[in-house]
Structure 1
Amino acid sequence: MIILCVCVILLPVCFTHPLAGWVSSPGHPGGYEPDIKMNWERCAPAGHTLTLSIVHLDLEDSHDCENDALEVFANGILISKLCGKKSTEQLQASVNPSLRSPSGGCLSLTFQTDYSNTEQHTGFRAFYTVQDIDECLDGDLQCSHFCHNYIGGYSCSCRPGYFLREDQHTCTVNCTEERFGEGVLTPPGSPGPYFENAQCTYTLSVEEGKQIILNFIGEFDVEDREGQCIDSLTIKTDSATFGPFCGKKAPSGFNTAARQVQVLFNTDQEGQNLGFSLTYRAKLMECPGTVTPDSVLSPQRTVYVVGDTVTVQCKTGYTFDAHLVKADVKHFESTCQTSGKWSPVYSCAPVDCGDPDLSKNDLLALTEERPLTTYTHNISLKCLTKFYQLSGHAHFTCNASGLWESHGESLFDEANSPICLPECGMNEEFFSFERVYGGERARLKQIPWQLLIKRPRRGGASLISDRWALTAAHVVDGHETKKLTFNGGMIDGQDNNAVIMETEKIIIHPDYEREVFGLARTSYDNDIALVKMSARVPLSFKIRPVCLPKKSAGPVMKGVMGTVSGYGGTGNKTKSQFLQYAHLEEYPKLSCFQSNLKVTDNMFCAGGDEADSCKGDSGGPLVLPMLGTGAPNKPYRLEGIVSWGPAQCGDEAFKGYYTKVQNYLDWIRETMEKN
C-alpha cells in the first residue's frame, strides 16, 4: 500500500468548539478551595482525535488519591487518576502520552477536593488540541494500492488498469469480456505477471452448428502451492466443467462440444506468475459417440457431425425406460443437432428381475435383505430354520431376459424352483442304562419322529415330513373319512404340552385287505397307510421326521440291530404311559409267528431275546441304525412298520412281522405328490 499525504486545514463546519484551549482548576494559580467539584468535557469530530497535555500539577498527595484528585476519562472510561505534585518533565514523560480520545471521541475531566488541606496547593493547568488522524499509517487499513489521507478521513485508489470495488478498498481488474470467432486469450497484465485480485469471465462464442476448439500454447504458469490451486483457470459449458487448472503444466487441448464457452480466471492479491495463452477456434459441431449410456449405435463411426442419424439399441441386459417408450420398442433413431446433442434420447435401464416370489414356500428366504435385482446381480436363498435343508440351487443370477437363473436353469418354474425339505433322521442322542421291562424308556428329543394315536384304537406312526406320517393300515382302517388326532413331540402319553396334529387325509394302500365283518382275514399284506396333516407340523428338536429307506436286495437289516419304539404293552400292561424302545434283529420268516395268515415278501420278521413290539405299538417305527449309533452321514431310516404278530408279546419262539417300507417307496412318493 502506498501512502499519500495531503494537507487540508479546513475542519467540518458542524464542529463548533475551539480547536485548542486551556482548562485549569478553580483559583489557579492562587490555589483551590476545599470541598469543590469541577467537570469538563470536549469531543473531537469524525476523523479527529482530542489530546490533553497537563503542564502543571500540584494537588494534595494521598493514598490512591483519596483526598484531592484529578480524573481523566476517554468516552467515559477512566484513563488516568492524578494527585500530588509532578514536574512538567514528569508529566510529559509518563502521563500526557496516554491522554488521547478515540477517533471522533470525547475527553472529560473531574476535579474534586476534600474538606481541608494542611497547606495551600495551586491545582492544575492543561492544554487541549483537536488533531487530524492519519488513517493511512494504520497497519490494519486495507487499501489494495494507494491510500490518501485528508483532514477527517482517507480514501483508496488503484493503479491504471484496475478499478475500485464497492468496498472502496479493494482494487480489481475489469476483465468481463465477450468474444466471437477465433483468437488468443491471455490474462490481464500479459505479457508480464498477471494482475492480482482478478475475477475474469470471458465468454467465447461461435456460429450455430459449430463448436469451440481450445488449445494452450507457450508457457503455462498459474500460481499453486503444494498441489493446491491458489489462482485458477476454469472452463465451463452448459453441460460440462473443465478444471480448475493451475501449476506449470498446460492442460491438453480439447473439443468443447459447445458453441459457447466461459473461461473463468481468478487470482488472489499477490504473486508474480506469468499466466497462459489460450487459442480458440471454430470447428463443425460433433456429437458424442454415445447417444445414451449402455447402448450401441448403428452405423458405427469415429466421428458424428450435425445431421448424422443413427439407430440406437440397448446393450444386452438393458431395456428402454418403459415410462418413455412403448414396452415393445427395441430401438429408436436419433439425429445429431446443431447444439452437438442427440435428439431424441431415451435412457437404457438394466433389466430388473425383481424380488423373487417366495410366497409358495414360506420356509424359503433371501440371505440378504433388499438385494440388487438388476442384470448380472446375484441372490442367494436359504431355509428359515435349521430343521430344513434347501433342495435345488441356492445361488442365482439375473439374466438378460429378466429371469433368475442358475447354471442356465430358470429359478421359479415348476421344474427348477428350490424348496425347503425337512431334515430327516436326526435326533438328540441320549444313552441310558435304566431298564424298563421289555425295553428302555426314551428321552425327549431321542425319537422325535414317534407319533401316538390314542383313539379310536391305540397305535403309533412315524413322521416322514412336515405334513405326512406313515402308519399301519390296520390302525386307521375304517376311519379314513374322520378327523383323527396324532400326538408328537413328547415321551409322556399324558403330556399336556404335546404337539397336536389333526389329519386332513388318510390314504390306505389300495391293495391292503380291508376287514370285512363276518369274513376271516387272510393276510396283513400291504399293511401301510399315509396320513396327511391339516397343517404343517412345527418342527423342533422334539419333533422331526425320519428318513425313508433305500431300496436294497437281501435281508432288510443285513445282520445289524435296529430299534423299535412305541407306547404299547409292557409285560402284563396293555399300554405304556411313556415311550419305550427296544433293539431287535431280523430273523428268518420260519422263526416268526406261524398262523393261517399269508406271509409275503412285503413283510420281514424281527424280534429280541428280552423285548419285542406289542399291542398298541402297531403302526410305529422300526429304524436303522440302532438307536444311539446314528450320525449326520448315517441318518435314521424307517425300515419297518409294526404290523402283526403273536397275541403274547416277547415270546422268544414267535417274533413279530413288520411292513417292509422299502417296497412302497414309489407308492409313497407318488401319493404325496398327487395329494
Structure 2
Amino acid sequence: MIVFCVIVLLFPVCGSVPLAGWVQSPGHPRGYDPYSNLTWKKCAPTGHKITLTLLHLDLEESFECEDDALKVFADKVLLFTLCGRKSVKELQASVNPFLQSLPGGCLTVSFLADYSNTERHTGFRGFYTIQDVDECMDPENECTQLCNNYIGGYRCFCRPNYILDNDNHTCKVSCSEDHTNSKEGVLMSPDWPRPYPENSVCSYTLAVEEGLQFELTFLDVFDLEKKENGECIDSLTIKPLNGKAETFCKRDIPSSLLTRSQRVEIIFRTDHKGTNRGFRLSYKTRGMKCTGPVTTKSSMIPQESEYPTGSKVTVKCDKGHVLKSLESAEDKYEATCQKNGQWSPLIPCEPVDCSIPDLSEFMDLSEDDPPTTYLNKISFKCTNEYYQLTKNGTFTCNAEGNWESESGQKFTEDMPKCEPVCGMNKDTSSGGRIFGGRPAEIGQIPWQLLHRISPRGGASLISDYWAITAAHVVDGYETTTMSWLGGMIDGKSQNPVTMETEKIIIHPNYQKVGRGSPSNYNHDIALIKMSKRVPLGRNIRPVCLPKKTDEPKGDATISGFGRFLEEKNSRYLLYGPVQIYPLNKCDSVGLPVTNNMICAGGDEVDSCQGDSGGPLFSPVLGYGSPDNPYRITGIVSWGPRGCGNKSYKGFYTKVQNYLDWIKETMEKN
C-alpha cells in the first residue's frame, strides 16, 4: 500500500517537470558571443525543491560584474551575481551549497554579456535536480509525536493509546468518561500516577437524580503545570450545572468541594509539554441543600448556614433596594428551597433609581449619563458662562428614591438654580464724570438701562428678568408697557437690547402723585419685571444688590444718559466718581430727607435730569473683582436745581433698606 502511494505521487512529478537536466550559456563550450543572453527558470512541485550545481564558470572579469554576469535567483531573491573564473572546487565550497529553492519554489538563471571581450570565455554550465523534501526534518511541521515522510509530502501519526486530532498534527488521548447514575467513584488523570500525556482535553461527566448533589474529595498529590506567576498552563475545571465554574492548577486546592449540583462536568486540559503527575479525586453524593442569600442585596429570615429542601424563608431587600419585578411596592417575599438546590421564586432586589431630575434652564449635569441608583451622586453646572449655581450642586440618591442634598433636604426643596453672575464687567480703568463726565466704554457698565423717550430715565438690571429704578420715573406708567434699552453706550444706537415691561411695582409707601415730580421722595424705589428673559452677554449683565451689613460710605460711581450740560441730555452713557457723605453734611434745599436716602457728590461731578432711576454703585468703577463685585448702593432720586453746584449734593434712594421688599416682591411675582 505504501509503495502504491509513492508511485502515484511520482507520476505528476515525472509527467510535468524533468527531474534533472543541464543549463549552460549560449555557445558553451566554444565560447559566447557579445550581447549573448539567457533567462532560464525551473519550478519544483509541492513537497519538492530544485537544486542547481555549477560545474564550470568562465566569464569576463569586471568590477562588481558590471560587464558580463551570471545571476541566480531563488523565488525572486538574488542569491549570487557571478563573473570571472572559478574552479569546481571553489564553486562547491562557496556557491553550490546555496543554489536551491524553498519547497515548491523556483530557481531562475539570468546570463547577460556586454558588447566585447578582450579574450574568448567559454561561459558557464550547471546541472539541476528536483528532489523530494524531507518535511519530517523540519521542526516546524507541527507533528506532536511521529512523522512519516513520503515523496511530495509527510504524514503525522501517534504512539499507541493516542489518537490523531482533526488538525492531522496533534496527538491526544481519548480520556472522556461518562459516570451518569454513579453515586460514588474515583476519577484520575490519564496514566496516573505517571505524568499525564500532552495535548489532552478530558471530560468527566457526573450526573444523578434530582435531590442529590456531589461532594468531591482530592486524594494524594494534586500536581498540574503552572507559570511562576500562578497562571495555569494545564488546568482542572469543575463546572456544576448551576453555579460558577472553578479552575485549579495550584497545589493548595481545598481537600473537599461541595458542588450543590446534581450534574457536574470536570474538564482536564493539558498543553504540548510537561512532566507533572496530575490529579486523583473521589466523588460521592449527599442530600441537596440550599444556601443563602437567595439573591444579592437581601437578607433571609430565618438566617441559617444551610436549608433542607422544602424549607421556606422570607427574603427582604436591603435598604435602598426594591423588588422591581413585582407590581406592588413590596420589598420582601417568600422563597422555597427546591430539590435542585435552588430557591424559587427568585426575584432580584434592584437598587432604587432616582432617575434624572427635571432641570431648570441653563442647568445641566456635571457628567454625561451618570448612574442614578441608590447612594450614587450627581452634581450640576450652569451651561451659560453668565450664570452660576446659587448653592452646592451635589445630591445623593436616598433609599426613598429622592435626590437628597448634603443638608438632608429633597431636590425639590433645596434645588440649586443657575442665577446670573452679578456685578461683573469687562476690565476697565477707573475715573470719569457724569455731569461733564466721561463716556463709558461698551460693556463697562453693563447693568445700565435707558428709557429713551419721555419720561427719560435710567434703571439697573438686577437679574435676567428684573430691573430697579426710582419710583418717580415710572409713577403713573404702571399699566403702560414701557420699552427699556440695554447693552449699549450710545443712546441713539440702532441695535440695542430692547426689553418690554410686564409689571411695574412701586414701593407701597411711596406717595404717588402721578406723572410728575413728587413733593416727597421718601421710598423712591420701584421694580420692573420684563416680559421675557433678558439675553445676558458681555454687554448686558446685572449688578449685585448690596449686603445688609454694608453701610454705604466712601467713594462710589454714578452713571446715566442725563444732562451733561445745563440744557442738553447726553447721547452717550457717562459716568463719574462721587463721595458718599453723612446726611447732616448735605443741604436738602428745603425738601424732607430721611434715612432711606444717601447723599453723595463730587468735584464737578453730579447726577442730573435724565439720570433718575440710574445706579450709584461701588466700588469705584475699575476696582471690581470676583471677590468684590459691583453693588448698587443707591438709585438716582433727586437734588437741587442746577446740576454740578459745588454747594449741593445729590440724593439717592438707599437700596440697602429695601432688600427684604425686593426679595419678597420678586419671589411673589
- Partner residue in 2 for 1:605: 599
User: Residue 449 of structure 1 contacts residue 463 of structure 1 at CA under 8 Å; is this kept in 2?
Assistant: yes
| Of 185, 190, 195, the match for 2:187 | 185
Is residue 641 of structure 1 aligned with residue 635 of structure 2?
yes
- Partner residue in 2 for 1:427: 425
- Partner residue in 1 for 2:348: 347
642 and 266 in structure 1: CA distance in 2 versus 1, 3 angstrom threshold: closer
232 and 417 in structure 1: CA distance in 2 versus 1, 3 angstrom threshold: closer
Q: Map residues 98-247 of structure 1 onto 2, 5 A cutoff.
A: 161-162=161-162, 172-179=172-179, 180-224=182-226, 226=228, 227=230, 229-240=232-243, 242-246=245-249
Cα offsets for 1:565-607 (capped at 9, x unmatched): 2111122333011112232432545842424x54444334333
Distance 1:44 1:575 in 2: 113
Distance 1:419 1:73 in 2: 83
User: Any stretches of 5+ residues in structure 1 without a counterpart?
Assistant: 1-5, 16-41, 55-59, 67-71, 85-89, 95-132
Distance 1:430 1:154 in 2: 91
- Partner residue in 2 for 1:374: 373
User: Residue 448 of structure 2 contacts residue 486 of structure 2 at CA under 8 Å; is this kept in 1?
Assistant: yes
User: Residue 564 of structure 1 contacts residue 584 of structure 1 at CA under 8 Å; is this kept in 2?
Assistant: no
User: Residue 212 of structure 1 contacts residue 256 of structure 1 at CA under 8 Å; is this kept in 2?
Assistant: yes
Cα offsets for 1:243-299 (capped at 9, x unmatched): 543365555431111111122223456544322211111122122312111111111
> Offset of 1:191 from its aligned partner?
3.3
Q: Map residues 137-536 of structure 1 onto 2, 5 A cutoff.
A: 161-162=161-162, 172-179=172-179, 180-224=182-226, 226=228, 227=230, 229-240=232-243, 242-246=245-249, 248-268=251-271, 271-321=274-324, 324-358=325-359, 361-413=360-412, 415-431=413-429, 438-515=436-513, 522-536=519-533
> Offset of 1:209 from its aligned partner?
0.9
- Partner residue in 2 for 1:122: none
Percent identical: 47
Letter of the structure 1 residue corresponding to residue 563 of structure 2: G
219 and 474 in structure 1: CA distance in 2 versus 1, 3 angstrom threshold: same
Cα offsets for 1:352-374 (capped at 9, x unmatched): 1111210xx21222211211111
> Offset of 1:193 from its aligned partner?
3.3
> Offset of 1:150 from its aligned partner?
12
Q: Specify the SS of the correspondent of 1:410.
A: coil
Distance 2:200 2:425 in 1: 84
Letter of the structure 2 residue corresponding to residue 173 of structure 1: V
Cα offsets for 1:438-466 (capped at 9, x unmatched): 33322333322211111221111111222
Distance 2:274 2:622 in 1: 90
> Offset of 1:51 from its aligned partner?
9.2
Is residue 674 of structure 1 aligned with residue 668 of structure 2?
yes
> Offset of 1:507 from its aligned partner?
1.2
Query: Radius of gyration: which is bigger?
Result: 1
Cα offsets for 1:23-77 (capped at 9, x unmatched): xxxxxxxxxxxxxxxxxxx95999xx999999xxxxx96569x9xxxxx999899
User: Residue 190 of structure 2 contacts residue 197 of structure 2 at CA under 8 Å; is this kept in 1?
Assistant: yes
- Partner residue in 2 for 1:620: 614
- Partner residue in 1 for 2:117: none
Moved more, 181-190 or 451-460: 181-190
User: Residue 395 of structure 2 contacts residue 411 of structure 2 at CA under 8 Å; is this kept in 1?
Assistant: no
506 and 212 in structure 1: CA distance in 2 versus 1, 3 angstrom threshold: same
Structure 1 length normalisation: TM-score? 0.74
410 and 164 in structure 1: CA distance in 2 versus 1, 3 angstrom threshold: same
- Partner residue in 2 for 1:100: none
Q: Map residues 53-68 of structure 1 onto 2, 5 A cutoff.
A: none
User: Residue 589 of structure 1 contacts residue 605 of structure 1 at CA under 8 Å; is this kept in 2?
Assistant: no
User: Residue 44 of structure 1 contacts residue 50 of structure 1 at CA under 8 Å; is this kept in 2?
Assistant: no
User: Residue 568 of structure 1 contacts residue 617 of structure 1 at CA under 8 Å; is this kept in 2?
Assistant: yes
> Offset of 1:389 from its aligned partner?
3.1
Q: Specify the SS of the correspondent of 2:569.
A: coil
Count of residues in correspondence between the two structures: 580
> Offset of 1:135 from its aligned partner?
9.5
> Offset of 1:548 from its aligned partner?
2.3
Distance 2:159 2:457 in 1: 113
Moved more, 152-161 or 378-387: 152-161
> Offset of 1:505 from its aligned partner?
0.8
Letter of the structure 2 residue corresponding to residue 217 of structure 1: L
- Partner residue in 2 for 1:575: 569
198 and 636 in structure 1: CA distance in 2 versus 1, 3 angstrom threshold: closer
Letter of the structure 2 residue corresponding to residue 331 of structure 1: K
Cα offsets for 1:89-117 (capped at 9, x unmatched): x9xxx9xxxxxxxxxxxxxxxxxxxxxxx
268 and 542 in structure 1: CA distance in 2 versus 1, 3 angstrom threshold: closer
- Partner residue in 2 for 1:111: none
User: Residue 292 of structure 1 contacts residue 345 of structure 1 at CA under 8 Å; is this kept in 2?
Assistant: yes
Distance 2:433 2:136 in 1: 113
| Of 577, 581, 584, the match for 1:586 | 581
- Partner residue in 2 for 1:26: none
Moved more, 272-281 or 255-264: 272-281
Distance 1:652 1:539 in 2: 38
253 and 650 in structure 1: CA distance in 2 versus 1, 3 angstrom threshold: same
605 and 369 in structure 1: CA distance in 2 versus 1, 3 angstrom threshold: same
Q: Specify the SS of the correspondent of 1:663.
A: helix
User: Any stretches of 5+ residues in structure 2 without a counterpart?
Assistant: 23-27, 37-41, 57-87, 93-131
> Offset of 1:154 from its aligned partner?
11
User: Residue 409 of structure 1 contacts residue 416 of structure 1 at CA under 8 Å; is this kept in 2?
Assistant: no
> Offset of 1:648 from its aligned partner?
1.9
Structure 2 length normalisation: TM-score? 0.75
User: Residue 403 of structure 1 contacts residue 410 of structure 1 at CA under 8 Å; is this kept in 2?
Assistant: no
User: Residue 442 of structure 1 contacts residue 491 of structure 1 at CA under 8 Å; is this kept in 2?
Assistant: yes
Is residue 538 of structure 1 aligned with residue 535 of structure 2?
yes
Distance 1:656 1:152 in 2: 115
Root mean square deviation of aligned Cα:
4.4
Q: Specify the SS of the correspondent of 1:456.
A: coil
